[in-house]
């Protein structure tokens, strides 16, 4: 291939991995975009990055993070959370709306955007919340660039009231009219609260009580209900953090009947099972919970079959003191993960559980496609020059003190891993290398391409 006549940077010698293959190629970059991918693109006078012996992946897109700003910045903030993303090879994050206050109106969306837009080290999108009475706010949040809308059908951090079915349906209709995806935390809130009350009345305070209080049928019921309603409302639907074999089977059954829905699995639901409660206690409390090994195996099998569409982190920081809570009912749900996702998945690839191409498909290509990020998720001409250099053979022991979140407590501390992030680039600019985040925050808001429903 003839080198481009002008470029700012050429990445040479690396093996470029896409969602459907890999090839040793050069990448030419100009003005933050990829202008060519091919052979022998180096040109006199153009700076080069030598990626010999490394894999070059499109920057990961994490569709499920909680950066805790506004209102809970003692746990994390946009600067610290996006620093962790850069260190983990994640170049785009989409932040959840269950902050204080929740992002359920256009005015709150605007306030949050103004608050965080100059703090991000990677590109970012913002969800609005599908609340119990805010269907009239959906169109205005969409106009401000909302990536989509999050519906909490079950209790989680922020303890926001879950909408009733009529409010849910109105919100689904409004999101469909705006041409945006609704992502769902699918658990039946009334049932999980009832089971929790019963366990507390019996004196249960141990970490496993959280699992016992959220049985898998609570997920199955919510999945069935929301997919049925979304189909009727003609809404683009995504199930966040599907956690159980029974939940995945229900999704597959409904897909076979013509329902359209995408499914996300969390890193934590793939790498931890219920035995981890004995080791880590309430540190691994998560909504939905860490489940038995059979559910973990079912999620991995779903990845192998292509029934799981996306892997994300649910990066959900809390303070170090909060993570030490002994009473499961007082403990917060969630823990950090945006920086450890790629090394963990590369380790799974080294073990033969999936391929690096699968990682790209699940963590870059499909998220960008699903949420209509027209310049993300691929190393191809015309796309943003977001990429991560990876050494797939590097072996190391994870040291949580090296992590970049505000509170770097993780269950994966001291795990032996294979596959390391060497450097991360955002629009052709180096933002992480040799353990350090580099430069000032330069992340930009990502706004999805929308195809609103025609109105009659």
The mean per-residue pLDDT over the stretch 359-368 comes to: 98
Going by pLDDT thresholds of 50, 70 and 90, the confidence category of residue 450 is: confident
Q: How far is 27 from 45, CA to CA, in rounded Å?
A: 16
Per-residue burial over 39-50, b = 16 or more CB atoms within 10 Å of its CB, e = otherwise: eebeeeebeebe
What pLDDT is attached to residue 455?
44
DSSP state at residue 44: T
**Phi and psi angles of residue 436, each rounded to the nearest 5 degrees, phi first:** -125, 135
Going by pLDDT thresholds of 50, 70 and 90, the confidence category of residue 307 is: very high
Parallel/antiparallel/unpaired status of strands 310-312 and 262-266: parallel
The mean per-residue pLDDT over the stretch 46-73 comes to: 97
What pLDDT is attached to residue 44?
87
| SS3 state of residue 436 | strand
**pLDDT tens-place string over residues 110-133:** 999 999 999 999 999 999 999 999
The mean per-residue pLDDT over the stretch 199-217 comes to: 97
Residues 6+ apart with CB under 8 A from 298: 244, 245, 248, 249
What pLDDT is attached to residue 160?
74
Q: How far is 169 from 329, CA to CA, in rounded Å?
A: 31
What pLDDT is attached to residue 5?
55
What pLDDT is attached to residue 299?
98
What pLDDT is attached to residue 451?
72
Per-residue burial over 428-449, b = 16 or more CB atoms within 10 Å of its CB, e = otherwise: bbebbbeeebeeebebeebbbe
Residues 6+ apart with CB under 8 A from 285: 207, 210, 328, 331, 332, 333, 334
- Considering the entire predicted model, what is its pTM? 0.96
Cβ contact 77:69 at 8 Å: yes
**pLDDT tens-place string over residues 218-250:** 999 999 999 999 999 999 999 999 999 999 999
| pLDDT of 454 above 80 | no
The mean per-residue pLDDT over the stretch 399-406 comes to: 97
- Looking at 135-261, list the stretches that DSSP marks H as alpha helix, in order from N- to C-terminal side: 138-143, 165-178, 189-201, 208-212, 216-233, 245-256
In angstroms, the Cα distances linking 300 to 152, 294, 303, 358 are 25, 10, 5, 12
Cβ contact 300:353 at 8 Å: yes
| SS3 state of residue 138 | helix
Token match 């353990």: residue? 435
What pLDDT is attached to residue 6?
74
Is the N-terminal amide bond of 407 cis, ω within 30° of 0? no
Q: How far is 374 from 383, CA to CA, in rounded Å?
A: 8
The mean per-residue pLDDT over the stretch 93-111 comes to: 97
What are the tokens at 408? Answer: 């770097």
What are the tokens at 264? Answer: 């996300």
| pLDDT of 3 above 90 | no
| pLDDT of 94 above 50 | yes
Q: How far is 287 from 20, CA to CA, in rounded Å?
A: 33
What are the tokens at 347? Answer: 């380790």
**Phi and psi angles of residue 19, each rounded to the nearest 5 degrees, phi first:** -70, -15
What are the tokens at 18? Answer: 């896409």
Q: What is the mean pLDDT of the chain?
A: 96
What pLDDT is attached to residue 159?
63
What pLDDT is attached to residue 4?
56
Parallel/antiparallel/unpaired status of strands 429-433 and 436-437: antiparallel
What pLDDT is attached to residue 1?
54
Choose the weakest-confidence range: 33-42, 159-168, 419-428: 159-168
Sign of the Cα pseudo-torsion (382, 384, 389, 392, in order): negative
Cβ contact 367:377 at 8 Å: yes
Percentage of the chain modeled with pLDDT above 90? 94
What pLDDT is attached to residue 7?
81
DSSP code per residue over 81-123: HHHHHHHTTEEEEEE-S-SSS-S-SHHHHHHHHHHHTTT-SSE
Percentage of the chain modeled with pLDDT above 70? 97
**pLDDT tens-place string over residues 158-193:** 667 899 999 999 999 999 999 999 999 999 999 999
Higher pLDDT: 171 or 154? It is: 171
What pLDDT is attached to residue 456?
33
| pLDDT of 156 above 80 | no
């Amino acid at each position: 291939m003839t080198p481009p006549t002008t470029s700012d940077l050429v990445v040479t010698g690396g093996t470029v991995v896409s969602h459907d293959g890999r090839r040793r190629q050069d990448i030419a970059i100009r003005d933050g975009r990829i202008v060519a991918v091919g052979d022998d693109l180096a040109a006199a006078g153009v700076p080069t990055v030598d990626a010999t012996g490394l894999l070059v992946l499109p920057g990961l897109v994490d569709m499920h993070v909680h950066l805790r700003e506004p209102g809970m910045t003692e746990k994390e903030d946009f600067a610290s959370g996006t620093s962790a993303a850069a260190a983990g090879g994640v170049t785009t994050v989409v932040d959840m709306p269950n902050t204080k206050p929740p992002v359920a109106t256009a005015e709150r969306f605007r306030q949050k955007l103004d608050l965080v837009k100059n703090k991000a080290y990677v590109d970012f999108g913002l969800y609005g919340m599908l609340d119990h009475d805010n269907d009239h706010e959906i169109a205005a949040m969409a106009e401000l660039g909302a990536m989509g809308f999050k519906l909490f059908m079950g209790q989680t951090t922020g303890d926001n009231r879950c909408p009733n079915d009529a409010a849910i349906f109105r919100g689904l209709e409004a999101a469909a009219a705006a041409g945006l995806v609704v992502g769902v935390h699918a658990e039946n809130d009334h049932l999980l609260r009832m089971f929790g009350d019963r366990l507390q009345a019996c004196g249960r305070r141990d970490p496993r009580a959280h699992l016992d209080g959220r049985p898998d049928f609570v997920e199955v019921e919510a999945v069935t209900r929301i997919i049925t309603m979304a189909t009727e409302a003609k809404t683009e639907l995504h199930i966040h953090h599907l956690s159980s074999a029974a939940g995945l089977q229900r999704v597959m059954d409904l897909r076979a009947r013509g329902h359209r829905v995408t499914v996300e699995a969390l890193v934590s639901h793939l790498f931890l099972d219920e035995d981890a409660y004995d080791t880590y206690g309430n540190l691994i409390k998560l909504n939905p919970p860490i489940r038995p090994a059979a559910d973990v195996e079912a999620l991995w099998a779903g990845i192998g079959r292509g029934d799981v569409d996306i892997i994300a982190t649910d990066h959900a920081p809390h303070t170090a003191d909060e993570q030490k809570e002994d009473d499961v009912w007082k403990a917060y749900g969630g823990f950090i993960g945006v920086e450890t996702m790629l090394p963990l998945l590369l380790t799974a690839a080294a073990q033969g559980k999936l391929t690096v191409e699968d990682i790209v498909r699940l963590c870059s290509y499909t998220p960008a496609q699903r949420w209509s990020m027209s310049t993300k998720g691929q190393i191809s001409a015309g796309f943003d020059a977001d990429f991560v250099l990876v050494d797939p053979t590097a072996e190391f022991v994870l040291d949580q003190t090296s992590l970049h979140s505000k509170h770097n407590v993780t269950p994966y501390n001291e795990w032996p891993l294979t596959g390391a992030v060497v450097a991360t680039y955002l629009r052709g600019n180096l933002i992480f290398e040799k353990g350090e985040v580099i430069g000032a925050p330069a992340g930009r808001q990502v706004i999805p391409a929308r195809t609103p429903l025609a109105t009659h």
